[in-house]
Chains A and B, each alone.
Chain A
Amino acid sequence: MNPLPKNTPGMYRLIVTHYLISGICFAMLALLLLVLSGNFPSHYFAPGTLAITHLAALGWGTLIIFGACYQLLPVLLECDLYSNRLPWVVLSLFLPGLFCLVYSFWVFDPGIHMQAAGVLLTSSVILFCVIVFKTAAKSTIASAHKDFILTSCIWLAATAVLGTLMVFNFKYAFLPKDHLHFLRLHAHMGIAGWFLMLIIGVSAKLIPMFLVSRSQPSKLLSWSFYLINISLLLFMVDGYIHGLNLKTHLVVAMMLCGLTLYLLYIRKCFQSRLKKKLDIPITKTVLSIVFLSLSVLLLPLIVQLSVQQSAWAVKLSSLYGMLIFMGWITALIMGQTFKTLPFIIWVKKYEHLSGKARIPMPADLYHTWLLKVQYFAYISFCAFFFAGFLLSNNVLIIVGAVSIVIAAFSYLGNVIILLTHKTTIQL
């Protein structure tokens, strides 16, 4: 009989700490966006944009993924986590690295703080990869999810190493090509290699689990895995040698095919689901998939405009980045937090009472009205902010930024409500 996974008190603290800090990073990110909204930079290679992007990618996206992975890896790989202590080392290297990096981007000081941040973050990421690979080594199952997760870690490590090299390149200028050239490769290793691979791997297991889906065509996932990875490798090699060119269309087409197969898999899960009613967290997950689709549909256009050296290429690239981080990843995290965190809290607070007394269910531990505020504020952000950016209208951008501040603080408030939940039932 397989032993069932059980969170130790240390592991519980570790996981909820990740959720809390990433929620704080989301609030900080929203505030920075509001500060910038009066004069939003149109180019992605600007101090404010770099600070916000790294806060979004690392503090908001990656940190919560790390925390969720410590909880979900045992479920996905059907074995215990390799270590309960190493994740704390990962976090203690990651946090100073993150805040140093964001600050030094914001004030744009490519000196010792930025370099130290790069080294700290890369060390942290490599240790995280050690945890994942050592855990996977204990797992006896072979699945597409496992391939996606392991590959995502390789891409994450590569992203961090290249990012750190670029930080040192600001000072010592040793890289053979210009900075924007490497920035494109760094960004896509992070977006398609780390986030996309990891999210596909995890969502391909969790979405059918939450929806109670009868059909989970894993062949689609396997093809998706190969197409996305091959296209990404081709993009790295061809992009490094030639930059964006007409051949990049073929690479993008391959990536789109891979992504389409993943979307078909998700569609099949939805079609064959036994649970008909969709709750708000799942609706947000659907919304996140819409943003992912919209952003990748921009890719052929961006490639074409870049080849033609049109000024719109930069603007659309910025929009693409925002759709990825503030659309796809943000909607997904906001939705999935309230699918995972309430269960972690519930197990801690109510497992011993379960069956003995009438107790609340996980979904009763957070405020539904606050979840609705967060949902509608987020929709408002998407509508106003993206429209404002496209039309270069600062008023719309400011309204959008205010909306994301409301969404972020209602999200953080609900996370704090969950974390501070107290059991009132006595036996």
Chain B
Amino acid sequence: MKEFNITNQSSFKELQIIESLRTVLDPELQINVIDMGLIYHIDANPQSDSIKIQMTLSSSHCPMGEAILKSVQNRIETDFPGSEVHVELVWEPQWTYEKITEEGLKQLGR
């Protein structure tokens, strides 16, 4: 995930996108995709109004995979109307449990 840069306009938008994605839950674990560590990269270009999200899934051929990708796409399109949203699924680096954030671990009951 990118570091927040106060001098960069797109950083503010990326933060809004992160907050928006916190409402998208993994249907089984009921943890949001940010705290699950599924979102690898967000690129919000304020000039072109395009939003690119690079993300992964906890396992390939996950039966809920399509649903999670669609949720991310739908959420961003709803919260940022008029933006061109591209959600790209990547498998490198591979997702591991270490990618779950401290907040995510707390939600799992640790």
Write the residues of chain A forming the contact surface with B, with a CB cutoff of 8 angstroms: 1-2, 4-6, 71, 74-75, 78-79, 209-210, 212, 214, 274-277, 343-344, 346-347, 350-356, 361-362
Contact = CB atoms under 8 A, between A and B. Distances in A.
Given A1-B90, A343-B28, A362-B27, A351 B66 contact: yes
B65 A4 contact: yes
Interface string B18-57: 0000001101111000000000000000000000000001
Contact of B60 (A78, A274, A350, A362): A78
Contact of A275 (B24, B29, B57, B63): B29
Nearest to A5: B61
Contact of B74 (A2, A214, A343, A354): A354
B64 A343 contact: yes
Nearest to B89: A1
Interface residues of B, number: 35
Contacts of A1: 89-91
The 4 closest A-B pairs by CB, nearest first: A355-B74, A276-B109, A355-B71, A355-B75
Contacts of B72: 355
A275 B59 contact: no
A346 B61 contact: no
B25 to A, nearest CB: 7
Contacts of A354: 24, 67-68, 70-71, 74
A75 B97 contact: no
26 contacts: A2-B61, A4-B66, A4-B69, A4-B89, A5-B66, A6-B66, A71-B63, A75-B61, A79-B61, A209-B59, A274-B97, A274-B100, A274-B105, A275-B109, A343-B63, A344-B63, A346-B67, A347-B64, A351-B66, A351-B70, A354-B67, A354-B68, A354-B74, A355-B74, A355-B75, A361-B30
Contacts of B66: 4-6, 347, 351
B64 to A, nearest CB: 6
Contacts of B57: 4
B2 interface: no
A214 B109 CA distance: 15
A304 to B, nearest CB: 45
B27 A343 contact: yes
Nearest to B23: A355
A421 to B, nearest CB: 15
A210 B67 contact: no
Contacts of B1: none
Contact of A276 (B27, B69, B110): B110
A356 B63 CA distance: 20
A276 B108 contact: yes
B25 A5 contact: no
Contact of B91 (A2, A71, A274, A352): A2
B24 A355 contact: yes
Contacts of B24: 354-355
Contact of B70 (A210, A212, A355): A355
B60 A355 contact: no
B78 interface: yes
B62 interface: yes
A214 B110 CA distance: 13
B73 interface: yes
